A and B are shown apart, each in its own frame.
Chain A
Amino acid sequence: MSAALLVARQALRESLRRRVFAVVLGLTLLFGGLYWWGCSELFKDVSDFGQNDVGLDATSLAGATILGMAMFGTLFLGVVLAVFLTLGAARGDAERGLLQPLIVRPLGRSHYLLGRFLAAAGVSMAYVAMCFAGAVVITGLEGGWWPTNVAGAGLRLVAAVLVMCAMSVLGSVFLSSNANGIAVLMLFGAGLLAGLLGSIGDALGSHTLQRIADTASWILPFEGLYRDALRMLVADVQGVAGAIVQLGPLGGSHDAGPLLLPFAVLYVAGVLAAAAAAFGRKDL
């Protein structure tokens, strides 16, 4: 385990020295600033709505909608960060000649992969948690709207990034850096589209579309986790506003049941075990 932590430390050190985190932090602050401004303007606009005939709670609608979008943005940025930190972890680094001097040391290949995963997962999860918490605070301060289950939604968001990180590590064993980055981001897009199909299926009552989305939720659990997080975010928004915000950006809220989170943990463990087994047999 200490060898894995050593590799993780080295990977984090590289990101720090190459100013990866400085760039990410700068752009995130910009994103946060724009979000704050957007929230401020949005809540100013909806404050004039007052009571209306259809019983629309404008503040809840605005808060849940913009926070739902921020959640999607956070997930996307977290996934991009996780993928870019791991896309060349195995084959890419081997092709560049970076891996061989490390791998011949008395350190198991599985420990090396685990180290790379821990570094990327730790950074991406912290990043997602921080961004999401920031968005919740900004939304609450500007509009006075606070979702009730912030921790549950945040936990699922973080777990979704963890799943993507593990998938990227597995892909890095078989694919070169560019191919792996493209493949993982395309899988991410495919999962989100499956979620969108599920929302359409829910709206139209199409069991086929719902089945496609449900199946995708288990094959690519980050998608189910994201939709479950969205559900937790907007669960307390009632009436028309609740119906609207549950549609969400790229896949509406969906209750995947209590097994999804433990399944995701097992899924990550299984993906990492598969990556370690394949990497252990690979000629470098």
Chain B
Amino acid sequence: MPALAATAVSKRYGATQALRGVDLDVQDGELLGLLGPNGAGKSTLVKIACGLVRPTGGDVQVCGAPAGSLDARRALGYLAELFRFPGWATAGELLELHQRLAGSSGGDAERAELLDLVGLADERDRRVETMSKGMQQRLGIAQALVGSPRLLLLDEPTSALDPAGRRTVRALLEELRRRGVAVLLNTHLLSEVERVCDRVAIIDHGRLVAAGTPAELGGAETVEVETAAGVRRFPGGREEVPALVARLVAEGEDIFGVRVVRSSLEDAYLAAVAAAAAGGAL
């Protein structure tokens, strides 16, 4: 049973169709990166998964329970894109509140462990209102991990973090994968996705336009050959280069240079979004 299973999910806000039949699943221990332009429907999908928004159509199950149900909410942790914690509370008090709400019996040890995981071990008694945005974001991740959720939904969790903070979060995500936690990571940072995610799903205009591993999506290789007529591109990799050069020489081409180019996830992302805009959505 997947930690998250979305089937033909659609959502309409008045005249705006935010999601159009999205199918997506996240397995236990899998880290899925959700990419897409602003307004693509990513946050709506995440909000449907955690029960904040009701879908217009389709079905979303969290660990086998309908999204929004108490059982589903017991199984997940969530960090919203735009969140705020009460400024008067300390980090420890905030986590304690969420432990009570989540029914966690982890107590003091869980709070200490979570603060340590996000690099806030020494800030337990610090009030939220005195923390930087980045520290609050890390505290938000710790809050989402209260009660050892099976599924973690993170909506732009690194948007306010400096490079060191991002590294901390990357290490944390890898640790969560090791523990078997399923993570849906909604982000604009392709480099983060490329580094840590097992799979990537690209959404545009409410549709899933591409899905696969980062290598599958961004790993296509092309051989660029510089000839007298200009640069010519051929599909293939390093292994195809000798035969390709021999064929072109046999055809009478003058070869001035050859290189193998590997497309990045960014290229794949832009291509998928462009294809969707041109009406080629999957």
Q: Which residues of A contact B (CB under 8 A)?
A: 3, 6, 10, 14, 17-18, 96-98, 100-108, 281, 283-284
**Are the CB atoms of A101 and B52 closer together than 8 Å?**
no
Interface residues, chain B, with chain A CB atoms under 8 Å away: 13, 47, 50-54, 70-71, 73-74, 76, 78-80, 82-86, 88-89, 97-98, 100-103, 140, 143
Q: How far is the CA of A100 from the CA of B51 in the complex (A)?
A: 10
Check B88–A10 contact: CB distance below 8 A: no
B70 and A106 contact, CB distance less than 8 A? yes
Given contacts A105-B98, A106-B101, A106-B103, contact A98 B52 (CB under 8 A): no
Q: A97-B80, A281-B54 are in contact. Are A105 and B73 (CB under 8 A)?
A: yes
Contact B52 A284 (CB under 8 A): yes
Determine the distance from Cα of A3 to Cα of B143 in the docked complex, in whole angstroms.
Answer: 18
Docked pose: A106 CA to B77 CA in angstroms:
11
Contacts of A107 in B (CB 8 A): 73, 101
Main secondary structure of the interface of A (DSSP, over half): loop
A10 x B97 contact (CB < 8 A): yes
Contact B78 A101 (CB under 8 A): yes
Given contacts A14-B88, A102-B101, A105-B73, 9 further A-B contacts (CB under 8 A): A97-B80, A98-B85, A100-B52, A100-B78, A105-B98, A105-B102, A106-B102, A106-B103, A107-B73
B100 touches which of A6, A98, A100 (Cβ 8 Å): A6
Min CB gap A113→B, angstroms: 15
Complex formed: what's the CA distance from A100 to B79 in Å?
A: 9
Which residue of chain A has its CB nearest to the CB of B103? A106
Measured in the bound complex, the distance between the Cα atoms of B88 and A10 in whole Å is 11
With both chains docked as a complex, state the minimum distance between the C-beta of A2 and any C-beta of chain B, in angstroms.
9
Q: Could you pull out 26 A-B pairs where Cβ atoms are within 8 angstroms?
A: A3-B101, A6-B101, A10-B97, A14-B86, A17-B88, A18-B88, A96-B84, A98-B83, A98-B84, A98-B85, A98-B86, A100-B52, A100-B83, A101-B78, A101-B98, A103-B51, A103-B52, A104-B50, A105-B73, A106-B73, A106-B74, A106-B103, A107-B73, A283-B13, A283-B53, A284-B52
